[in-house]
Amino acid sequence: METQLNTSSHNASQQSPVLVFGEGSTAVFLIAQLLKHNESIIWVKDSGSQVWPVMPYVKSELALGALIDSHQAICNEVFASPIEKGTAHRVFRNKGFKMPAWKRSSNLETQQAAFEEMVWTPEQSYLGVTELRIAGLSTMKIEQDLRAAIDVHPSVKKIEMAPVVEFEVFEHGGKLQFTNGTITEFKQLFYCGPLAELKAIPKLSTVLKHQVSKAKTSSAVSALQVVFHHSEALLQTIETGIVVPMNRDSGESFDRDVMGYFVNPLMSVWTVFLQADEIEENHEIMKKLRKLKQSLNKAFDGLDFLPNGKKDFMATVEKEQVRFEAGFLVIEGEFKTSSANADYVLLNDSFGLSSALEQIANRFDIPALEFNVDMMETTAIEIDDSNELLENIQSIAGAPQVEAQF
């Protein structure tokens, strides 16, 4: 049964701003769409919780449509980069970077079944049988561009580190007061922050209770992410996503991977997911960080990658930024829509970036990107015979390059 909440008969003005809580990727792409529709926005940057996009691509035509539309709307750039659809990542195995093992079959249903069997459930939110990427423009680079544009946009007012002290729910919209003294009515509120932090705003958590009721937060895993700034670029240009298996710890019953990519030749981002029982001690988290680095050293080894004088991958790193987000990714359930409180919307990163972009596309009537050719792979990949170098991967994402058609 949907939660009923006493509300004031007062309605917020249609000239009132839209309120956006949260600092993650979803908030950024949502704000881009709100600005496109000439809304005034109050962006509540509450806790600093943020994880950069885990992989450089998205998983559906609808998500890609929202990604491109948001970038065009705010950054005033005409999009003309080629799109590749197929498998936009490579897996390190047998001392090389190769197509994932589930691509052995030419049948998509067989590929999907093998994918679901081989890939740890949290990682399925970012890896897929079908992936779509923009040549030369990763998801993180697009998000960086949007953040820079939003930060200086005159229609966006930011409230940072100021908790809510009073919250009134209207029949349409509502009213908030913050500890910094700001009082504002709003016509619509989007909660894009972590689910774990929703309870810090009791009345809002009540309003959104129905929408979160089918999201099994007990299934949530945490994200350990590190951004490396490199003093020197690797000898090969890498534009695909990279998946590097980590050695199992004693007692582990599943395979876990380091997932990441190069934003540019001198910056890379890498992510590992941790289960609830692995984050109880900082020692265990730091252990995973060390294993992440060891895995990358093993993958990017030898003269094909390392600049002269560098003994391993980590020797190219001059600065690192580590983020840890507890309960970041929910791997069971879904968000429900609510007709009773339509001005209050739960929309965040909890089910992965592609899922969030699809919700944004549906909300703002953004069409799925359409291709003018059939781009699905039709032939089996001989994994064990694959010996391609990373510099060649850019042009073989499993399909020909085409221009996006809108």
Q: What is the mean pLDDT of the chain?
A: 86
CATH class of 8-83+131-215+332-374: alpha beta
Q: Distances from the Cα of 164 to the Cαs of 40, 193, 316, in angstroms? A: 20, 14, 44
Residue-wise pLDDT tens digits, 76-105: 665 667 888 889 999 999 889 999 999 888
Q: How far apart are CA 132 and CA 56, in angstroms?
A: 9
Average pLDDT over residues 238-247: 93
Which burial class, exposed, middle or buried, applies to 26 when counting CB atoms under 10 A from its CB (0-12, 13-18, 19+)? buried
pLDDT in the model for residue 360: 97
Q: How far apart are CA 142 and CA 140, in angstroms?
A: 5
- Does position 10 have pLDDT exceeding 80, yes or no? no
Classify 2 as helix, strand or coil: coil
Q: Distances from the Cα of 105 to the Cαs of 121, 124, 131, 174, in angstroms? A: 21, 19, 17, 54
Query: Higher-confidence residue: 254 or 319?
Result: 319
Average pLDDT over residues 15-40: 95
Query: Higher-confidence residue: 140 or 48?
Result: 140
Q: How far apart are CA 112 and CA 105, in angstroms?
A: 10
Residue-wise pLDDT tens digits, 130-182: 899 888 889 999 999 999 999 999 999 999 988 899 999 998 899 999 999 99
pLDDT in the model for residue 391: 37
Query: Higher-confidence residue: 136 or 338?
Result: 136
Average pLDDT over residues 186-215: 90
Average pLDDT over residues 361-376: 74
Burial readout 338-360 (b: 16 or more C-beta within 10 A, e: otherwise): beebebbbbbbbbbbbbbbbbbb
For the entire predicted model, the pTM comes to 0.89
Burial readout 243-259 (b: 16 or more C-beta within 10 A, e: otherwise): bbebeeeeeeeeebbbb
DSSP 87: -
